[in-house]
Structure 1
Amino acid sequence: MNFKKLALGLCMLTGCCVAASAQQKHPHRNILWFDATANFKRFTVKDSITYYLERSKEAGVTDVVVDVKPITGEVLYPSKIAPVMKEWKGEYQSGVKDLSWDMLTVFLQEGHRLGLKVHASTNVFVAGHNHFDRGVVYSDASKTNWQTISYLPGTGFTKITGQKNKYSAMLNPANRDVQQYELSILKELVKMYPQLDGIILDRVRYDALSTDFSDYSRKAFEKYLGKKISRWPEDILSYTGGDKPEKVKGPLFNQWIEWRAKVIHDFVYEARGVIKKVNPKIVFGDYTGSWYPTYYELGVNWASKDYDPSKEFSWATPGYKKYAYAEALDLFTTGNYYFEVTKAEKNKIDTSRVNRTEAAQTRAAEDWYTVEGSADLVNRLTGGKIPVYAGLYVEQYKGHPEQFIKAMKMCREKSDGAMVFDIVHIINYGWWEELKEGLKN
């Protein structure tokens, strides 16, 4: 009996070979994220960096992601382009006057000593923190006009810095000056740190469906259409009246969605080219949310080009699939940010009380609003073309360590590994043993 043929036949019948082949094809990683501002003081001390990297290694972490460009647009390394963050909430870098070392260099040296892969993360289309009126769009007059413009009910065209209910002062992704500035930072970072194992982009997106309605975007969209827009912005988006205004889609809405996806698609591919030109071996990665059915609101099509969303969703044009960018990535980590782990737990979701604060999330009770369901969705839409690492937001499991462990195991079962955000919660909750349990084979 030919056991190889028999095994292959069983595999094809059951579909189990899909996950197995993906695990063999793509590198397995257990990724732990190190947020810049949440850990600012902790990780500007050399001994602290070493200590927490050692604890991470002991827990089964294989890769660490060091946030070096938080939402303020400042950076945590000696850049000649972006302002350097030397203080956060009254806490100061211990070594700001000693230029013989910097945080990222120590992360690289100590991480590599321990056998860890070290990636740098940058928040791209954002340059200010609205809760502190701090950041590049606040401090640099030449960049104030880069901030995104929202079209909102009641207030109309509104700058993002005037929306204090939002903490991220997002930029206009279509603005070429913005793009070139962000690309220059990425290029500088990769040049400065040739030892980096990877770059992972974050916030490569629009702020919301209500953005960007600046004059710049209007002209760019009209160029894409090849005609003038007679009713701006009503031909794209307007609102009903009353105490609870609802969005009304105009005749150009779907083309607007397609164009925004093209903006992000083109930038991702350009960023890959810039980075790979400096270091061809570096891993080029991206983070997005996993909730694809509503993620179009952010101008992002993270699927494979082989997937055609127009066959499933009314907001997608037949041309929308052209602006998918999964194939541009060497690493893709997604936010599977839900308390419910299995699809069966969907029935436990209280849609009246569920707390979903990530951009473009809704209160719906769907399979893809569980860790398992969202991981399955990501796998289907990326088609096994790229390594996928399902991610968790630790704070969602506060007081429920058993659910956190269960979620980590699901991420590892359903993808090429797990991404855990953020180490600050592991430290605060004392969940090192829980982390180790969730990551062990």
Structure 2
Amino acid sequence: MNKPTLPVLVLLLALFSMCGRPNTVSSTAGSTQKQTTQKRNLLYFDATANFKRFAYQDSIKYYLAKSKDAGVTDVIVDVKPITGEVLYPSKIAPVMNEWSGFTKPGGFDLLTVFIEEAHKLGMTVHASTNTFVAGHNYFDRGVVYNDPTKKHWQSLNYLPKGMTPITQIKTKYSAMTNPALPEVRQYELSVLKELITMYPKLDGIVLDRVRYDGIEADFSEASRKMFEQYIGQKVTNFPADIYTYSTTAKNKDGKPERVRGPLFNQWIEWRAKVIHDFIYEARAELKKINPNLIFGDYTGSWYPTYYEVGVNWASKEYDPSEKFDWASKNYKNFGYAEALDLYTTGSYYFEVEKKEAKNIDPNTVNRTEAGQDKGTDDWYTVEGSAEMAMKITKGKVPVYAGIYVEQYEDDREQFVKALKMCRAKSDGAMVFDIVHVINKGWWNELKRGLTE
């Protein structure tokens, strides 16, 4: 047999290098090719819920080993909670060294330990950042509270009582910012770029809260001017041309019904463009620093109402205007599934199988996530929402349906069934959060759900 020539050797070495990297996902941003799918079981490590627990290296090692044994392939480490503070030595964002009365002893870098120890176990590590949020309203803490130069970043919400800064809405715990503000976008990009540069061995990034607060946000004068520029005309009656509140009709939550104005659909379209453009810009900037980075995103699964937070996570090939009256013909142009290497969606429902949708009682169901309502369609189940996510992303990105552990209360078997359904109907499962698995002692159930 002849020996390979030098060019062939170079090619073989390159191919070997590509094959040897664990959990690599092929990038097809902007193309119509189907992604190479990597089966994954992802487990979230929330920043504040686990703040004290993971202030110690041996604790990180211990729980990574338990996670690996349970069938977890990927860990998502939350390093930027909703306060806007971070859990690594940033020179841009404020560093969180204390939470809930506990001060970290220090002595090691949390994310470095997670990366090193997880890699020893053959696991993949993603860092998660809460993007367009910069304060915790329950504690009056965070960037928009503590930095006077950033106070104007907070969302201005249009409520029945009038325009209200989000820091004054104490029923909301997240002090969301205005994603359309150029200074907000550039700041968040700078934080992400610093993070990727500081941790070159980090496998991936999973963006969270890349959205508006809700349908009520943002109605600042800055947003009005940018919207007017987008549509090429002045808005004569603002915000009435977007929507008003009925003085008589009530919605499912007993609140005044919104009455759409003539520019409502264009407003929805523009907000989707704001988020779409940030996603693509973030991808491009981060890939310049680390071309092998797995660029991921995390959203809610309730697509038919998720337009309320300004997000179109579908493929550009999916046209929601054919089915939904809130979508303009141009809305599909701002889908961003093609920009992602990984997408995880919260199938946050107690009901697992589609046939269980008949058991949903809209009067008692607990749905408080942004953009959720109290419907009884079968996509309000783990099975239905996972199927919908796979359908509308059109194979452009691997989809990992996720469950919220606390939602299953004491029903171990429903939890196991939900995990199995995520794996059956999508490319794997995402579990939020390890703190609930620990508190409930559901390690055996987690393993059953992820491996059986």
* TM category, shorter: over 0.9
2:4 corresponding residue in structure 1: none
- Checking the alignment, whether the CA contact within 8 Å between 2:244 and 2:260 is kept in structure 1 is yes
Q: Which amino acid aligns with 2:123?
A: L
2:370 aligned with 1:332, yes or no?
A: no
Return the alpha-carbon distance in structure 2 between the equivalents of residues 276 and 294 of structure 1.
31
Q: Which amino acid aligns with 1:143?
A: K
2:94 corresponding residue in structure 1: 83
Return the alpha-carbon distance in structure 1 between the equivalents of residues 204 and 182 of structure 2.
25
1:49 corresponding residue in structure 2: 60
1:135 corresponding residue in structure 2: 142
1:102 corresponding residue in structure 2: 109
Return the alpha-carbon distance in structure 2 between the equivalents of residues 238 and 24 of structure 1.
43
- Checking the alignment, whether the CA contact within 8 Å between 2:34 and 2:397 is kept in structure 1 is no
Aligned residue among 145, 150, 159 for 2:152: 145
Deviation at 1:24, TM superposition (A): 9.6
1:73 corresponding residue in structure 2: 84
2:332 aligned with 1:302, yes or no?
A: no
Q: TM-score, normalised by structure 2?
A: 0.91
2:193 corresponding residue in structure 1: 187
1:29 corresponding residue in structure 2: 40
Deviation at 1:68, TM superposition (A): 0.1
Return the alpha-carbon distance in structure 1 between the equivalents of residues 109 and 406 of structure 2.
29
Give SS of 2:185's match: helix
2:121 corresponding residue in structure 1: 114
Q: Which amino acid aligns with 2:142?
A: G
Return the alpha-carbon distance in structure 2 between the equivalents of residues 235 and 308 of structure 1.
25
**Superposition pairs of residues 259-274 of structure 1, within 5 angstroms:** 259-274=270-285
**Superposition pairs of residues 348-359 of structure 1, within 5 angstroms:** 348-359=359-370
2:381 aligned with 1:373, yes or no?
A: no
Return the alpha-carbon distance in structure 1 between the equivalents of residues 240 and 362 of structure 2.
31
Give SS of 1:246's match: strand
Give SS of 1:241's match: strand
- Checking the alignment, whether the CA contact within 8 Å between 1:57 and 1:114 is kept in structure 2 is yes
Return the alpha-carbon distance in structure 2 between the equivalents of residues 245 and 257 of structure 1.
20
Provide, for residues 327-375 of structure 1, a one-character-per-residue CA deviation record: whole Å limited to 9, x for no partner: 0000000000000000010111111100011111111101100000001
**Superposition pairs of residues 153-232 of structure 1, within 5 angstroms:** 153-154=160-161, 156-232=162-238
2:7 corresponding residue in structure 1: none
For structure 1, list consecutive stretches of 5 or more residues without a partner in the other structure.
1-21
Deviation at 1:237, TM superposition (A): 1.3
Return the alpha-carbon distance in structure 2 between the equivalents of residues 329 and 361 of structure 1.
23
2:404 aligned with 1:398, yes or no?
A: no
Aligned-residue identity in percent: 67
Describe the shift of the 1:317–1:24 C-alpha distance in structure 2 as closer, same or farther (beyond 3 A).
closer
Aligned residue among 117, 129, 132 for 1:125: 132
Return the alpha-carbon distance in structure 2 between the equivalents of residues 44 and 269 of structure 1.
34
Return the alpha-carbon distance in structure 2 between the equivalents of residues 420 and 220 of structure 1.
38
Q: Which amino acid aligns with 2:361?
A: D
1:287 corresponding residue in structure 2: 298
- Checking the alignment, whether the CA contact within 8 Å between 1:23 and 1:416 is kept in structure 2 is no
Return the alpha-carbon distance in structure 1 between the equivalents of residues 36 and 338 of structure 2.
15
- Checking the alignment, whether the CA contact within 8 Å between 1:338 and 1:369 is kept in structure 2 is yes
Give SS of 2:256's match: coil
- Checking the alignment, whether the CA contact within 8 Å between 2:35 and 2:397 is kept in structure 1 is no
For structure 2, list consecutive stretches of 5 or more residues without a partner in the other structure.
1-32
- Checking the alignment, whether the CA contact within 8 Å between 1:126 and 1:170 is kept in structure 2 is yes
- Checking the alignment, whether the CA contact within 8 Å between 1:368 and 1:374 is kept in structure 2 is yes
Deviation at 1:232, TM superposition (A): 0.6
- Checking the alignment, whether the CA contact within 8 Å between 1:202 and 1:287 is kept in structure 2 is yes
Provide, for residues 141-187 of structure 1, a one-character-per-residue CA deviation record: whole Å limited to 9, x for no partner: 00000000001102x11000000000000000000000000000000
1:419 corresponding residue in structure 2: 430
Deviation at 1:25, TM superposition (A): 3.5
1:12 corresponding residue in structure 2: none
Return the alpha-carbon distance in structure 1 between the equivalents of residues 329 and 433 of structure 2.
38
Cα RMSD, aligned residues only:
1.2
Describe the shift of the 1:342–1:23 C-alpha distance in structure 2 as closer, same or farther (beyond 3 A).
farther
2:96 aligned with 1:58, yes or no?
A: no
Return the alpha-carbon distance in structure 2 between the equivalents of residues 136 and 90 of structure 1.
19
- Checking the alignment, whether the CA contact within 8 Å between 2:83 and 2:141 is kept in structure 1 is yes
- Runs of 4+ in structure 1 deviating by more than 3 angstroms, as ranges, are 22-25
